[in-house]
Amino acid sequence: MSGIPANRDSFGSRFGVIAATAGSAIGLGNIWRFPYVAGENGGGAFLIIYLGFILLIGIPVMLSEFTIGRSAQRNVFGSFRKLAPGKPWYLIGLMGVGAAFMILAFYTAVAGWTLEYIFQSVINGFEGLSSNQLNDMFYSFIGTPWRPLLWFFVFMALTGAIIMSGVQKGIEKYTKILMPMLLVLLFILVVRSVTLPGAASGISFLFKPDFSKITPTTILEALGQAFFSLSIGMGTLITYGSYIQKNDNLGNTAVSVAFADTFIAILAGLAIFPAVFAFGIEPGSGEGLVYITLPNIFLQMPGGYIFSLMFFILLGVAALTSTISVLEVIVAFFSEELGLKRKAATWLATSSVSILGVMCVLSSSTMADVKIFGFTVFNLMNFTSANILLPLGGFFIVIFVAWFLGRDGAKEELSNQGKLKVRYIPFYMFVIKFLAPLAIAFIFLQGVGLINFS
């Protein structure tokens, strides 16, 4: 195959691996997507199902991606081609690249909103607004084409600039400092939110399961959210896995990252829902939820100006450490498979994704009436990538490791060629051979209405 440099880039340290991988996992998926999807799907019961999926399906899929990537040392498409030459498994790789296009397009649009909210924080734009006015402010912002478009391109350019400079030097260095800061700020917000008058109904909305709200679609949404939040099912972690050094403990890495990711999602829920109820906002109000609730909280805090500014900056950073991981999937593919230089591959990737991205941005304004299967372009990308492509990708990834690489192949890689004890292998093999694929297939078919067992 063409264009694979002898000295492929890699992560520098074990902490670097965690920072980059957790940086990919932790992002808008936790703080923007999780609260509103949970809100639309009944709260507590959704959370329990979500946690179950992280443990039983998410972590095994993540381990399988690491195994594939680190043993092949290639991009997502090249990995399957190398491990299964002449077989059609590379199609999973192509699907992963397709999912990366879709995710990057709508995700960068939302990341751009974060820049607008940084700007509003700077000019003190929330000052004196009621909760209704904050609501209007959000919808009139996304409803005017040029501003969100501008921010979209700024964010895409930032992502591209980092990717061009390689894997190790930029982001690995900064994520180590910035991610802990995000955690601290989120803590402060949780404290403010849960002490608001009326917070209790928000807490019980998040933690008290009402299973009557659960439908097959809810369960599919929980699965999709688990995949989306962990960055699994499309080869982000195959690509990142290919940069992990051979002496790293993949099992520990997967568990730590999944844990950190889940912890941040729950914290975000605890910051958002009490405020949702305290300010009379609809929990099911969709993708504006965080952008409307948080400014409400900031207005109720001493020092809200500075907290607001810091928070949106860090949210932007969290988004950036995720967008680079998605862009890296495409850039690694273009550079290794088409033999392009990293710079050219980045230009090609960012400009082609931007075509779809612009349509996502305009879905709230000029293209609001353009509907495909009843979805705007934005929602089509958001819904289908998370709830269809990622679970489908995850299904084939575990099948590939379980039935194609097999126990010996997986054990070889996960034990670092016999150097680590991997007592979890029998359990892991059982899960990826039977439990995970059957569960994914069932939830998927039931969720999209192809079978009906209820």
The rounded distance, in Å, linking the Cα atoms of 139 and 291 is: 10
- Residue range at the interface with ligand PHE (CB under 6 A); choices 8-16, 184-192, 227-235, 419-427: 227-235
Q: HSE (CB half, 13 Å, CA atoms) of 322?
A: 29
Is the Cα torsion angle 252, 253, 255, 256 positive or negative in sign? Answer: positive
287-326: which residues touch ligand PHE (CB under 6 A)? Answer: 322, 325-326
Tell me how far apart the alpha carbons of residues 114 and 93 are, in angstroms, rounded to a whole number. 31
Q: Does 79 participate in binding ligand PHE (rule CB under 6 A)? A: no
Least distance CB 29 / ligand PHE (angstroms): 2
Q: Which of 159, 218, 229, 364 binds ligand PHE (CB under 6 A)?
A: 229
Give just the sign of the alpha carbon dihedral 259, 260, 264, 267: positive
134 is a contact residue toward ligand PHE (CB under 6 A): no
Binding segment toward ligand PHE, per CB under 6 A, in 190-198, 226-234, 335-343, 413-421: 226-234
Select the residue whose beta carbon is closest to ligand PHE and give its number.
29
Q: Does 30 bind ligand PHE (CB under 6 A)?
A: yes
Q: What Å distances lie between residue 181 and 23, 178, 295, 297, 443, CA to CA?
A: 13, 5, 19, 19, 37
Among 16, 23, 29, 241, which residue interacts with ligand PHE (rule: CB under 6 A)?
A: 29
Q: How far is the CB of 2 from ligand PHE (least distance, A)?
A: 26
CB of 452 to ligand PHE, least distance (A): 29
Site for ligand PHE, residues 356 to 385, rule: CB under 6 A: none
Radius of gyration of the chain (CA): 21
24 lines the binding site for ligand PHE (CB under 6 A): yes
Residue 288 is given by DSSP the state: G
> How many CA atoms lie less than 13 Å away from 437 in the CB half-sphere?
16
44 or 96: CB nearest ligand PHE: 96
- Strand, helix or coil for residue 372: strand
Least gap, CB of 48 to ligand PHE (angstroms): 20
Residue 27 in contact with ligand PHE, rule: CB under 6 A:
yes
Position among 236, 242, 335, 364 found at the interface with ligand PHE (CB under 6 A): 236
Block residue for tokens 């990537």: 69
Q: Find the shortest distance in angstroms from Cβ 303 to ligand PHE.
A: 27
Q: What is the DSSP string of 165-187?
A: T-STTTHHHHHHHHHHHHHHHHH
Q: Which of 151, 155, 228, 279 binds ligand PHE (CB under 6 A)?
A: 228
Q: How far is the CB of 349 from ligand PHE (least distance, A)?
A: 14
Minimum distance from residue 19 beta carbon to ligand PHE (Å): 14
Packing angle of the helix pair 200-207, 171-194 (nearest 10 deg):
120
The stretch among 22-30, 163-171, 177-185, 267-275 that binds ligand PHE (CB under 6 A) is 22-30
| C-alpha to C-alpha distances, 240 to 10, 17, 46, 328, 366, nearest whole angstrom | 9, 8, 29, 8, 37
Which of 28, 118, 186, 271 binds ligand PHE (CB under 6 A)? It is 28
Paired tokens of 128: 């004196």
Kindly tell me which of 236 and 379 has the beta carbon lying closer to ligand PHE. 236
Query: Is residue 159 at the binding interface for ligand PHE, with CB under 6 A as the rule?
Result: no
Q: Which of 186, 326 has the CB closer to ligand PHE? A: 326
Q: Name the residue nearer to ligand PHE (CB basis): 27 or 60.
A: 27
Phi-psi category of 374—alpha, beta or left, where left has phi over 0 and alpha has psi -120 to 50?
left
CA distance 277 to 293: 10
Q: Which residues, 6 or more positions from 374, have their beta carbon under 8 angstroms from its beta carbon?
A: none
Q: Is residue 231 at the binding interface for ligand PHE, with CB under 6 A as the rule?
A: yes
Token pair 């192949």 is found at 409
Q: Which residue in the set 103, 111, 171, 431 belongs to the binding site for ligand PHE (CB under 6 A)?
A: 103
Q: Total residues contacting ligand PHE (rule CB under 6 A)?
A: 14
Q: Give the number of other CB atoms < 10 A from CB of residue 257.
A: 26
If the CB atoms of residues 179 and 278 are measured against ligand PHE, the closer one turns out to be 179
Min dist. Cβ of residue 208 to ligand PHE (A): 25
Amino acid in the structure at residue 17: V
130: alpha, beta or left? (left if phi > 0; alpha if psi -120 to 50): beta
Interface with ligand PHE by CB under 6 A: which residues? 24-25, 27-30, 103, 228-229, 231, 236, 322, 325-326
